[in-house]
Amino acid sequence: MKLCRYGDVGLEKPGIVDANNVLRDLSEMVEDITPETLPFVLTMIKEQDISRFPEVKGNHRLGTPIKSVSKFVAIGLNYLDHAHEADLPVPDEPVVFFKAPSCLNGPDDDIVIPPHSTKLDWEAELGIVIGREAKQVSVEDALGFVAGYSIVNDVSDRGFQFQSSQWDKAKSCDTFGPVGPYIVTPDEIGNPHELEIWLEVNGEKRQQSNTSQMIFSVAEIVSYVSHYMTLKPGDLIATGTPAGVSLGMKPAPVWLKAGDRIRIHIEKLGYQNQRVTEQTASC
């Protein structure tokens, strides 16, 4: 199943996309898709005939597929080719950092450049959504704690990032966390390590890879992170990006600027489409 939230910013309603790609409203079941309601929604949907929910007519903005999260965890350097292009050592264990939950952004909403930003970059990533509390779980059991998967654009400012290795600061500005369009449940995904992933900037392919190239698997990541913090329902984990980010471009990076358009696709998860815009206030 594909869970989503649709409607204007701040007024989103819970939705589900059926097998015929028809958006249906879940408001009679639940007020919104939140960390608190996600386990209930996942259980109830398995027991329901989705076709009984009302069809949503017309085109609607899609927001983040979950209203909020307690944690937005990210894994760095999880593709071998990306570690090489960044001229950084290949990690022996997952590199964990955080994006502020306040950076969450709809999959097609604008990415807003902070006024002091100088080196804005893109990162297409497979996102894991946690379905139930996970604490010190084994690799063998870890996939049982996954509610589904989503696309994440780990927007980053490299100027901020390499000011004394300030990764969290570089990745947490408002709008730096587009997620969605859906939470796609594992039964629709199959093997999460057989998914094509690509990103375009202004129609030009910048990243093109497959999740089979990840250094640490989904199960390894969930298990590893759960040994250092309790993962709650709805928590997001971005699993790293393949080669092709601006930082690694030769002979010189081409940073994002106002007016640029980004398009991201991960097989079975849908598409994101963002426009880069300017702002005058600080992030």
Structural domains in the chain plus CATH codes: 2-52 (no CATH), 72-278 (3.90.850.10)
C-alpha distance from residue 169 to each of 117, 156, 161, 163 (Å):
12, 9, 7, 9
Cβ count within 10 A of residue 124: 27
Are residues 236 and 71 in contact, defined by beta-carbon separation less than 8 angstroms?
yes
**pLDDT tens digits for 173-190?**
999 999 999 999 999 999
Q: Which of 91-105, 115-129, 228-242, 268-282 has the lowest mean pLDDT?
A: 268-282
pLDDT recorded at residue 194 = 97
Q: What is the pTM of this model?
A: 0.95
DSSP label at 158? Answer: H
What are the E-state strand segments in the chain?
A: 2-6, 13-17, 23-25, 72-76, 95-98, 104-105, 111-113, 120-121, 124-130, 146-153, 156-157, 177-178, 183-184, 196-201, 204-210, 236-238, 261-266, 270-278
3-state secondary structure of 217: coil
Res. 276 pLDDT band, cuts 50 70 90: very high
Res. 164 pLDDT band, cuts 50 70 90: low
pLDDT recorded at residue 283 = 46
Query: Is residue 281 over pLDDT 80?
Result: no
Res. 166 pLDDT band, cuts 50 70 90: confident
Mean pLDDT for 237-241 is 97
Query: Is residue 211 over pLDDT 70?
Result: yes
- How confident is the prediction for the chain on average, in pLDDT? 95
Q: Which of 143-147, 167-171, 226-230, 260-264 has the lowest mean pLDDT?
A: 167-171
- Round to whole Å and give the CA distance between 212 and 195: 7
Query: Is residue 27 over pLDDT 50?
Result: yes
pLDDT recorded at residue 273 = 98
Tokens, residue 147: 């509610």
